[in-house]
Structure 1
Amino acid sequence: MSTVYINSASCISVQDTLNENILQNLKPENSAKIIKAIEPNYKEFIPPAMIRRMSKTVKMSSVASHYALKEAGIEKPDAIIVGTGMGCSQDSEKFLKNVIDHHEEFLTPTFFIQSTHNTVAGQIALGLQCHAYNFTYVNTSSSLEFSLLDAQLQIKDGEAENILVGATDEQTDRTMELYCLNNTIKKESDLPVDYLHSTTKGVIWGEGASFFVVGKDKTENSYAKLTDIKISNKLESEETSDFIQEFLTKNNLSAKDIDAVILGFSSDADSDIYYTKAMDLFPGSALLYYKHLSGEFNTASGFSTFIACHILKEQQIPEVMMINAEKKQEIKNILLYNHLAGDDHSLVLLERA
């Protein structure tokens, strides 16, 4: 696989990730069931008439992609690839409510048209007047990883040189109610939560949009090399070690070569066991976690990828993310491991650019 560089990174999340000094200003959140993204002033980026018709995930993605392209110095990418787990669920809920309220008659098609998962990639392309390859991946927690894999393959095959890749998910009232009812989201009585030693089921739910420009050439702004990606839909907890070891062996690495491991501890006692097993493989690496900063959601790995890019570029690890006391003098290789409720496991290997 040819070398692919991450040349810009932008993120809207529950942290203030659009401003400077990101690694120094991270604040954990462990006492609310649902945490909302810090949104920018959309009027600075999107005409007011359009804002009214856009769902939150489209607005977040439009601004995050704007920052990513601006940082990379690119006006039109050669492709736009977006990963999302839930898509434009606000408009989906509005459409379904219309169906019920109007007894399946006299329905306006607007909410239905805007509710499709590929609305985000389409709206970004419309805004840029970009007629290039436009694709959306809907693979729950590995949506971003599939998008990055597609971008990597396109660059390797010479189909594109610079690709805008993103991951986005929003919250909606009704979906959050249902998640509370089926215990996907933690009960009030289980808060505040200790992410690393939780004994209860459920998670704290977040949202956000992360966008990156990946390219074939290294630039002055390059954050990282996107070395390799591995995805598995199903994995037994006892297979975790082999899953990771095979990935490292394929890349001619051992556990000692990994300077930092970012794990997706979500505070769900049942599924966090995978991360606990993964920790045992890396006694000499800096072990980090991040969902106490972002919340859990389908594309939360976008936040960890964004943070990993900054760690590699700035060569510093935020104290608030540290599980152990290990700190390497130079951070060259970072391994990201994520899944959602025990399904759709992904490994992403980033190397210092």
Structure 2
Amino acid sequence: MKNKVYINGMGAVTAQGNWRDSFWAESQEIRYPITKAVQPSYKDLIPPSMVRRMSRGIKMGIYAAQQALDDAGIALPDAIITGTGLGCSEDSEKFLRNILDNEEQFLTPTSFIQSTHNTVAAQIALRLQCKGYNFTYVNRSVSFESALLDGLVQLQHGEADQLLVGGVDEVSDHTYMLLQRIGHIKPDGITETVRESQSIGVNYAEGASFFALSGTKTERSYAELADVLLRNVVEQEELGAFVQSFLEHNGLQISDVDTLVLGINGDQEYDSYYRSVMEFCPDANVLYYKHLVGQFDSCSAFALIVAAYVATMQTVDPILHWEAPSAKRPIRNILLYNHYKGRDHSLLLVRTC
């Protein structure tokens, strides 16, 4: 029999700052094409001499990972699994720029060493002296979900008991320019929130979210992570069957879903997918989150923070409501759905514990 998996700790660095008790009250909606994360103080975690050589992605990952471990009361996880869409793109761009500027001579290796996608997981492991399983998934907008699925399988089958799983992506200037040029990011000069959006493209950002997952329930446990499903291609008219099959696999009906957490991002070309899921689950309370943390490849990790927090507190801050609920319902089964530009669809099921 498969073991249950519990979310025992959470940490994040976002466009609203780091994860904290006052996060919702102090948050403001993003309304610009590009927003960088609000960086916390790293001086208590990373020596100043090292901080200067680290990109924002590495620093954000270390901070969010330690925050999740502290929240769960864990000193050393059995394994570290991360997901990232673009990896340490800031260092990648820096190294390539140095090649051009210095005509391929007198290059320092730091940026090259830290430019690989698995640098964040490696730096976390070095800092913690964690010699266990260490893996990074690079699967575009389902990178975090791929890491989460790996962790879920390991815990359910008893391969490990304490895992650190997270997603991290950073903004780099050249990559941002290219994404904006091909229409993935809204043009400069447009200042729309997700709810106000009348245009294609998204408000882009960066961040890191990490979780301490365990097969052991504790007094710190937020919620149960029940299942994860990924599918590259789902046509819009097939979404109902996609969701229903996932729920039936977990012994649920549509009416059992009391809360939806959707990745609505203001891209008018593709947000209709989310409206289809809303119509399929008409009685569910609908929440969204990308108006606070922006769109980036691993931003769906923050959706799990939203779900875990809501499951624990049994209340929803008004800033998370896409639609005001018609009636208050106990929160038991939370369904998370995300996609990007009609591809890489993911479903997560979170239950109260």
Structure 1 length normalisation: TM-score? 0.96
Give the 3-state SS of the residue equivalent to 1:271 in structure 2.
Answer: coil
Pairwise CA RMSD: 1.4
Aligned to 1:243: 242
Cross-structure match for 2:30: 29
Q: In the alignment, residue 65 of structure 1 is paired with which amino acid?
A: A
**Which letter does structure 2 place at the counterpart of 1:157?**
H
Number of the residue aligned with 1:15: 16
Q: Does 1:80 align with 2:69?
A: no
**2:56 matched residue in structure 1:** 56
Conservation of the 8 A alpha-carbon contact between 2:236 and 2:273: yes
Matching residue of 1:262 = 261
Secondary structure of the 2:147 match is helix
* 1:325 counterpart letter in structure 2: A
Distance 1:223 1:23 in 2: 17
Match of 1:287 in 2: 286
Is the 1:23–1:310 Cα contact (8 Å) retained in structure 2?
no
Deviations, residues 204-230 of structure 1 (Å, cap 9, x unaligned): 001110010000010111011010011
Partner Cα distance (2:163, 2:130) in 1: 12
- Residue identity in the other structure for 1:335: L
Gaps of 5+ in 1: none
| Secondary structure, counterpart of 1:280 in structure 2 | helix
TM-superposed deviation, 1:325: 2.3
CA displacement at 1:38 relative to structure 2: 1.4
What code does the residue aligned with 1:4 have? V
Q: Give the conservation status (yes or no) of the 8 Å contact 2:78–2:161.
A: yes
Deviation at 1:2, TM superposition (A): 2.3
| Greater Cα offset, 143-152 or 124-133 | 143-152
In structure 2, the residue matched to 1:340 is 340
TM-score w.r.t. the length of structure 2 is 0.96
Q: Which moved more, 1:161-170 or 1:99-108?
A: 99-108
The question of whether the paired residues in 2 share the 8 Å contact of 1:204 and 1:266 is answered with: yes
C-alpha displacement of 1:196: 4.2
The 5 Å alignment of 1:56-135 reads 56-135=56-135
Q: Counterpart amino acid of 1:223?
A: Y
Instruction: Give the 3-state SS of the residue equivalent to 1:192 in structure 2.
Output: coil
Query: Matched residues in 2 for 1:113 and 1:341: separation?
Result: 32
1:319 alignment partner in structure 2:
318
Give, in whole Å, the separation in 1 of the partners of 2:192 and 2:60.
28
Give the whole-Å Cα distance in 1 for the aligned partners of 2:19 and 2:287: 22
- CA distance in 1 between counterparts of 2:143 and 2:328 reads 31
Alpha-carbon distance between aligned partners in 1 of 2:40 and 2:196, rounded to the nearest angstrom: 34
Which residue number in structure 2 is paired with residue 219 of structure 1? 218
Aligned mates of 2:226, 2:176 — CA distance in 1: 36
Greater mean alpha carbon deviation, residues 83-92 or residues 103-112: 103-112
State the AA in 2 paired with 1:115.
Answer: S
Q: Secondary structure at the match of 1:24?
A: helix
SS at match of 1:44: coil
Counterpart in the other structure of 2:180:
180
Residue 147 (structure 1) aligned with residue 147 (structure 2):
yes
Q: Relative to structure 2, which stretch is displaced further, 217-226 or 313-322?
A: 313-322
| Contact 2:3–2:158, Cα closer than 8 Å, also in 1 | no
Q: Take 1:335 and 1:310, find their aligned partners in 2: how far apart are those partners?
A: 14
* Percent identity of equivalent pairs: 46
Q: Structure 1: how far apart are the matches of 2:72 and 2:216?
A: 11
Listed one character per residue, the Cα deviations across residues 33-87 of structure 1 (whole Å, up to 9, x for unaligned) are 1112111111122100110111101101111111111111111100000111110
- 8 Å CA contact retained: 1:259, 1:328: no
Alignment gaps of 5+ in structure 2: none
